[in-house]
Amino acid sequence: MRKYLWVRQILGQIFLIIIGLYVIVPIWGMLRLAFDGSLLSRPTEFRFFPKVFSLEPLFSVLDRPYQSVHFTTLLKNSLVVSLGAALLALVLGASLAYAFARFRFPGRKPGLFILLLTAVIPPIAFATPLYIVLSILQIRTSLLGLTIVYAVFAIPFCIWNMRAAFQSVPRELEEAAFLDGAGYLSTFRYVTLPLALPSIAIAALISFLMAYSEFAIGWLFVDKAQTVTLSMAIYAMVQSGNAQPWSILGSLVVIMSIPVILVFVIFQRTLLERMLFGALDS
Amino acid sequence: MAIKPVTVRRKTDLRRVFQPYLYLLPAFLVLSVITFYPLVYQVIISFTDFQTKDLLLGLNSPKLQFIGLQNYKQIIFGGLPVQNFEFIRVLFYNLWWAITNVMVHVPAGVLIAVLLNVKGVWFKKIYRAIYVLPVVIPPIVVGTVWRNIFNEQYGAMNQALTWIVQLFGSDTVVHLRWLESYTPPIPWLLPTGALPLAYYAMMIANFWLGWPFMTLVATGALQSIPRELYEAAEIDGASKTYQFLHVTVPLLRPAMIPAAMYGFTLSFNLFNFVYFMTGGGPSRMTEILVTFAYDLVRNLRLYGVAGAFAVIIFFVAIAIFLITNKLTRATESYAES
C-alpha cells in the first residue's frame, strides 16, 4: 500500500511538472528575448538563456518605446484608462448587480435579459456608430472616451460575476442591519460589500485586464500619439515587423506585465487565493 | 415569493418602489449612450451605403443612400468586394473553433483540478501559483508570446519538434509553417472548409490561455463536495474510478456547465487573441466573425456592410445566448433536484 502511494505521488508530480513547464516556457522565452542584447532584428532561434545578457533593451524601452511618445506617457495612459475603466465598471456593475440580486421590481426579468445579452455581443460589432457617437460627444480621441468605452465592455462580466456574489450574501444579515437602523448605503458598505469582496476583486481584475490589453477599438479611435496606450504600442510594434530588435518588443511586453503581476502578488494572499483555490487545505 | 426588505417605517414605501430604479439609472444612462444607441444606429447603417465620407456627419450626411437589403444579400450570398470570404464557412469555422476549445478546456481543467485536490500532493502551492499565471497575464502579451513560439524560423515549437525527431535518429530539421501554411493536415475534418495548420497552433495556444480558468472553477466546486459522500461510496466498496464518475462528475456538473457556456461565448468572440496570432490568415481560413467585422471597418472601410454584418452577428449572438441560457437553466434545475 505504501509503495503504491509513492508511485502515485511521483506520477502525479511528473504530470504536474509537465503542465507547469507548458505554462512557464512561453513566458520564459519572452523574458529571455527582453534581456538579450545580441539581437539586431528578429531572433534566429529559441533559447532558454540570452546570448549576451543586457539590460539595454529594457532601458531603451523606458527611454523611447514608440515613435516620439515617452514611456511614462504610455504607461500613464494605460493605467489611467484601465484603472478608470475598472473602477467605473465596478461602480456601475455593482449597483446593477445589487439591484438585480436584491430587489423584485417591474421590468427586472427583461432588463436582466437585455444586460446579459449585451455580454454576448462583441464590442467590435458597433465600432462605426461608436466612433460617431464619441465624435459627437467630443471625447473620441481622449482618454476619458477610452475609459468609458472599456468600462462598458467590462460591465456584463461584472454583473455576471457580482450578482451571484450578492445573492449568496444571506438576506438575514442585511435585514438585521436594517433593523439596527442602518440605511441602505451603510448596510451595503458594512455588510454586503465585505462579504462579496472576493468576487468584486475578481471582477475588478478582469475589467482591468480587459481594458489594459485592448488595442483594436482604441486603435480605430485614437488619432494623436499622446493618447496611445501600451497595448496599442505593442500592436504597432508587431505590425512594423523587424525594423527594431525584438528585444525591445520583449522588454515592452515584460514591462507591461509587471503592474498586473504586482497587483496579483499583492492580492494573492488575501483575496485571490480564497476565491480561486479555496482556503480549505491551508 | 415576493421579497421586500423588512422595514418598519411606512413613509419609506414610495422610496422603496423607486429604490431599484435608482440603482439602475446611472448604468443605464451610460449603457444607452455607449451600447443601445450605437446598436440602433448600426441597424440603420446596415441599410445604407455608408462610406468614409459619411463618418463626419453620420446619418445626417446628404449623400447617404438607402439600399435596402443589399448589404445583407452580399454578405450571405457572396458578391462582396472581398477575397476568400464565404459567410457560411466563416460561421461554421467560428462555431467549430468555440466548441472544440471548450471541449478541450473543460475536461483538462477538471482533470488538473482533481489531481491538485488529491490529499498530500507535494508543492501544491507552487503549482497553483504557476498555474494561475495565464489568467493574470494580459492577453495581448499572450498573443505576442505564442506568435513567437509558432514562428517558422526561430519558434520554439519547430525547434522542440526537431529535437524530438533527432532523438529518434533522424536528422531532418522541422520547418513547419505553422501560421502561414495553406494545406490542411486533416482535409476531411470540417466539411464547410478545411482547417489549416494555424488552427491547431491556435488551439494549442488558446489551451494555454483557457484551461486555468476551468481549473479555478472546478477547484471551487470540488472543495464544496462533502467528504462524507466519498466515505459512503468507499464503504459501499466503490472503486476510485467509480467514485469519480458517480460522485465527482455529477456534482461538478452544475458548476462546470455555466463555466463552459461562458468559455464558449468567450472563445466565440475571442478577438484580441485571434487577430494578434494570425489576423484571420492564411487567406481568411482562421477568420472568425469578429475579426472579419473588424477588418470590414479598419481595412476595407465598407461601413454599410459592416453594419449589416454586425446585425447578423447580433442574431447569431442571440441564438447562442438563448441556447447557452437554456442549457444552464437545465442544469440549474438538475442541481436543485
Q: If you measure CA to CA, which chain B residue comes closest to A279?
A: B223
pLDDT of residue A9: 84
- CB-facing half-sphere around the CA of B107: CA atoms within 13 A: 6
CB contact under 8 A, A209 and B136: yes
**Choice among A110-114, B11-15, B120-124 with the minimum mean pLDDT:** B11-15
Q: Mind listing the pLDDT tens digit for each residue in B198-234?
A: 899 999 999 998 898 888 888 878 877 888 888 888 8
What pLDDT does residue A278 have? 42
Whether A151 and B30 lie within 8 Å, measured CB to CB: yes
Q: How far apart are CA B320 and CA B310, in angstroms?
A: 15
Q: Nearest to residue B176, comparing CAs of B154, B205, B145?
A: B154
- Calculate the average pLDDT of chain A: 80
- Asked if B41 and A126 come within 8 Å (Cβ–Cβ), the reply is yes
The number of C-beta contacts closer than 8 angstroms across A and B is 262
The burial of B174, by beta-carbon neighbours within 10 Å (0-12 exposed, 13-18 middle, 19 or more buried), is given as middle
How far apart are the C-alpha atoms of A236 and A219, rounded to whole Å? Answer: 9
Could you tell me the pLDDT band of residue A88, with boundaries at 50, 70 and 90?
very high
Instruction: Give the contacts of B161 (CB within 8 A, at least 6 positions apart).
Output: B174, B176
For A150, name the nearest residue in chain B, comparing CA atoms only.
Answer: B34
In this structure, are residues B155 and A249 in contact, taking their beta carbons and an 8 Å threshold?
no
Spans of all domains in chain A: 65-240
- B 202-231 residues inside an 8 A Cβ radius of A: 208, 212, 216, 219-220, 223
**Of B142, B33, B246, the residue nearest A213 (C-alpha):** B142
The DSSP bridge partners found for residue B260 are none
Q: Do A95 and B26 touch (CB under 8 A)?
A: yes
Q: Which fold has domain B85-288?
A: MetI-like fold (1.10.3720)
Nearest Cβ partner for B127 among A16, A129, A214: A16
Using an 8 Å Cβ cutoff, are B116 and B124 in contact? yes
Which pLDDT belongs to residue B94?
93
Residue B235: exposure state from Cβ atoms within 10 A (0-12, 13-18, ≥19): exposed
pLDDT single digits (tens) A29-64: 888 888 877 776 667 677 777 777 777 777 777 776
CA distance B188 to chain A (A): 30
Residues in A closer than 8 angstroms to B147, CB to CB, are 238
Provide, as residue numbers in chain B, all residues whose Cβ is less than 8 Å from the Cβ of A184. 19
CA distance A254 to A252: 5
Q: What is the pLDDT of residue B308?
A: 92
Judge contact between A249 and A33, C-beta under 8 A: yes
Instruction: Say whether pLDDT at A243 is over 70.
Output: no
SS3 B213: helix
- C-beta separation of B42 from A126 below 8 A: yes
Residue B87 grid coordinates: 459567410
Q: What is the CA radius of gyration of chain A?
A: 23
Q: Which of B6, B140, B262 to mutate to test the interface with A (most CBs of A within 10 A)?
A: B140
> In angstroms, what is the C-alpha Rg of chain B?
25
User: DSSP labels for A91-147?
Assistant: HHHHHHHHHHHH---TTHHHHHHHHHHHHHS-GGGGHHHHHHHHHHHT-TTSHHHHH
Helix (H, G, I), strand (E, B) or coil at A69: strand
Neighboring chain A residues of B38 at a CB cutoff of 8 Å? 126, 129-130, 133
Exposure string over A70-85, b if 16+ CB within 10 A, otherwise e: ebebbbebbbbbbbbb
Euclidean distance between CA atoms A155 and A117, whole angstroms: 12
**Which residues does chain A have within 8 Å of residue B300's beta carbon, measured at their own beta carbons?**
none
Contacts of residue B254, defined as CB under 8 A and 6 or more positions apart, other chains included, come to B221, B331, B332, B334, B335
Quote the Cα angle for A238-A242-A243, to 5°. Answer: 100
Q: Cα separations (Å) of A215 from A82, A88, A101, A175, A211?
A: 12, 19, 33, 45, 9
The pLDDT assigned to A34 comes to 82
Distance from CA of A76 to the nearest CA of B (A): 17
The whole-model pTM stands at 0.84
What is the structure's pLDDT at B1? 46
Q: How many whole angstroms separate alpha carbon B223 and alpha carbon B237?
A: 23
**Which cell numbers hold the place of A42?**
528578429
User: 3-class DSSP state for residue A66?
Assistant: strand
In this complex, the residue of A23, A115, A231 whose CB is nearest that of residue B208 is A23
Q: Work out the minimum CA distance from A280 to partner chain B, whole angstroms.
A: 7
Q: Are residues B216 and A276, on separate chains, in Cβ contact within 8 Å?
A: yes
- Residues of B with Cβ-Cβ distance to A45 under 8 angstroms: 154, 159
**Distance from the A129 Cα atom to the nearest Cα atom in chain B, whole angstroms:** 5
Instruction: Report yes or no: A150 and A210 within 8 Å, Cβ to Cβ.
Output: yes
Nearest CA in chain B to A12: B115
- Express each pLDDT in A116-159 by its tens digit: 777 778 888 888 888 888 888 888 888 899 999 999 988 888 88
CA-based nearest distance A190→chain B, Å? 17
pLDDT at residue A66, as a whole number: 65
Phi-psi region of B48 (alpha: psi -120 to 50; beta: other; left: phi over 0): beta
Separation CA A97–CA A89 (nearest Å): 11
How confident is the model over B49-78, as a mean pLDDT? 81
Residue B174: C-alpha distances to residues B86, B150, B157, B282 (Å): 33, 12, 9, 20
Say if CB B159 and CB A45 are below 8 A apart.
yes
Q: What is the pLDDT of residue B213?
A: 85
Please give the single-letter amino acid code of residue B45: I
Searching chain A, which residue's CA lies closest to the CA of residue B279? A239
Q: Tell me whether B293 touches chain A (CB under 8 Å).
A: yes
pLDDT value, residue B163: 86
User: What per-residue confidence (pLDDT) applies to A85?
Assistant: 94
- Mutate which of B31, B40, B95, B136 to disrupt the A interface (most A C-beta within 10 Å)? B136
- Looking at beta carbons, which residues of chain A come within 8 Å of B320? 120
Residue B95 clears pLDDT 90, i.e. is over it: yes
On whether the CB atoms of residues B156 and B149 are closer than 8 A, the answer is yes
> pLDDT value at position A279?
34
Least confident of A246-250, A260-264, B58-62: B58-62
What is residue A184's predicted lDDT score, i.e. its pLDDT? 73
- Asked whether the predicted pLDDT for residue B190 surpasses 90, the reply is no
Percent pLDDT > 90 in chain B is: 12
What is the reported pLDDT for A273?
53
Band (B243; pLDDT cuts 50, 70, 90): confident
- Is the pLDDT at A87 greater than 90, yes or no? yes
Cβ contact A29–B149 (<8 Å) = yes
Nearest CA in chain B to A42: B154
A129 and A170 Cβ atoms separated by less than 8 Å: no
List the grid coordinates of A160.
455576471
Kindly identify which residue of chain A lies nearest to residue B316, measuring between CA atoms.
A121
Residue A223 half-sphere exposure toward CB, CA atoms < 13 A = 7
Backbone angles phi, psi at A223, to 5 degrees: -130, 10
Average pLDDT, chain B: 83
CA dist., res. B75 & res. B78, Å (int): 6
Of B138, B146, B321, the CB nearest to A257: B138
Confidence of residue B141 (pLDDT cuts 50, 70, 90): confident
The answer, yes or no, to whether residue A80 has pLDDT greater than 90, is yes
Average pLDDT in the B182-191 region? 75
- Who's near B300: CB < 8 A, 6+ residues apart? B81, B82
Residue B337: pLDDT above 50? no
Cα gap B241→B228, rounded to integer Å = 17
For residue A48, give Cα distances in angstroms to A25, A250, B151, B159. 9, 14, 16, 12
Residues of A in contact with B121 (CB under 8 A): 9, 12-13, 16
The predicted structure's pLDDT at residue B180: 78
Given this model, what pLDDT does residue A281 score? 34
Q: What band does B335 get if pLDDT is binned at 50, 70 and 90?
A: very low
Min Cα distance B170 → chain A (Å) is 20
Q: How far apart are the first and last CA of chain A?
A: 26
Task: Answer yes or no: do B139 and A209 touch at CB < 8 A.
Answer: yes
Cell of B252: 461538478
pLDDT on residue B207: 92
- A50 and A38 Cβ atoms separated by less than 8 Å: yes
**Under 8 Å between Cβ of A215 and A234:** yes
Q: Could you name the CATH architecture of A65-240?
A: Orthogonal Bundle (1.10)
Q: Where are the domains of chain B?
A: 42-82+300-337, 85-288
Q: Both ends of chain B: CA-CA distance in Å? A: 19
ipTM for the predicted complex: 0.81
The C-alpha of A65 sits at a distance from chain B's nearest C-alpha, in angstroms, of: 16
Answer whether B121 sits within 8 Å of A131, measured CB to CB: no
